[in-house]
Amino acid sequence: MKVQDCLKLKTTKVIGIAADHGGHELKKYLTMMLREAGAQVIDFGDKELVPEDDYPNFVIPMAHAVAAGQVDQGIAICGSGVGACVVANKVNGVRACLIHDPFSARQGVEDDDLNLICLGGLVVGQALAWELVRRFLTSSFSGKARHRRRLEKVSDLENSPAPDFITARDVARQTCCPSGVNLPLKIYLIRHGETEWTFSRRYTGLTDLPLTALGEDEVREWGHRFFNIPFSHVLTSPRQRARRTCELVGLAEAAVIDEDLAEWSYGDYEGKQFVDIREQRPTWNVYHDGCPNGESPAQISDRADRLITRLRSLSGNVALFSHGQFSSVLAARWIGLPVIHGRNFPLDTASLGILKNDAHHPEVPVIELWNSAPHEATHQNFVAPNPELSVKQRAIQQWDNEGGEIPDATPTRDE
């Protein structure tokens, strides 16, 4: 079979080709094959083998020629093909792709109107490279509505000014929290980092102290842990130590101040140490006795219950930034225990607790995790997948949405 019969090119087709030293030999071979097949080839260089040459010097002019319609299609080659692909796609109107398999060479044109193929001169051999080019040049854009719609979006992107800065966290929230899906409630309760008074073990209620330098360092790690979690609500105590913790975790922008998350009001015991109070009241326990001129156990219980009622009206992942002893009470009340059992749930500075309902018995509140420091939570999967679909279902749905067609791979008797 003749080369011309294999390629079936129109003699009027004009092909641009460009390569640096890494693709020089492959460019020579493909140029020869193309001309034998009846194509008109414009060589954009490098014309000689120069080991120090740079692929942008040759690929950019060829890419501009493709975008302007001066050549019908383009071929760009460098050592791996990656650099040529990167620079070609910087030119508006160019749709370039690094291709290593015949299916992509054809499908890229039929679905995505690929107009420039990139090859790795040190990656693919001559026979495969020729097959890739042949598939690329003999394929045509299908023109189907879904493909035109997608290409219009690409064109709009090329011709639009840069959008406002979008953080990766914003993207994670959009992709992990689809609108209209009510995810199960899961509460991430974080105690603020260290302050001067937590370090010296002084009761800190209404006193508005900042975090220490160590306190700031120890909460930053939660920002990395929470990076991919889409939070539907973020609530924080009004005290600056909690608000600063929220900020360092990276959730301040979405945060709402909630007075019910404030620490226990210690009244006359504000700023005092436990040992000093016990000298005057040997059996004193805040969870049992409360504080004179401060909050009683009944008052703190009512406050926790009020917060829990509001939390149960929410869905999805909720972040709370609060304090040690109020968080202990919240944990006890979450599972229906009286305030006195708050002493069984100590929460250290910069530590995390997770409150939720049992997956198999949604009416049963549980504590999934408690008093976990960031370095202790490496085993936790802090990524919130969409529970509506399994991994396999999501993959099938994506394939269907793309209009994919699975070829018949059943071997015949002749194979």
Annotated catalytic residues are 192, 263
- The full 3-state SS of 293-338, as one line of letters, equals CCCCHHHHHHHHHHHHHHHCCCCCEEEEEECHHHHHHHHHHHCCCC
Length of the chain (residues): 415
Is 98 within 8 Å of 118 (Cβ atoms)?
yes
Report CA dihedral (124, 126, 128, 134) to the nearest 10 degrees. Answer: 120
Is 284 within 8 Å of 278 (Cβ atoms)?
yes
Residue 80 half-sphere exposure, CB side, CA atoms within 13 Å? 4
Distance in angstroms between the alpha carbons of the first and the last residue of the chain: 22
Going by C-alpha positions, the residue among 365, 254, 347 that lies closest to residue 305 is 365
Give the number of other Cβ atoms within 10 Å of residue 179's Cβ. Answer: 5
> How far apart, in Å, are the Cα atoms of 122 and each of 55, 79, 80, 135, 206?
14, 5, 6, 20, 68
Distance CA 214, CA 178 (A): 37
Report CA dihedral (57, 59, 60, 61) to the nearest 10 degrees. Answer: 90
Is 136 within 8 Å of 116 (Cβ atoms)?
no
Is 230 within 8 Å of 224 (Cβ atoms)?
no
Identify the helix (H) or strand (E) that includes residue 255: strand 255-257
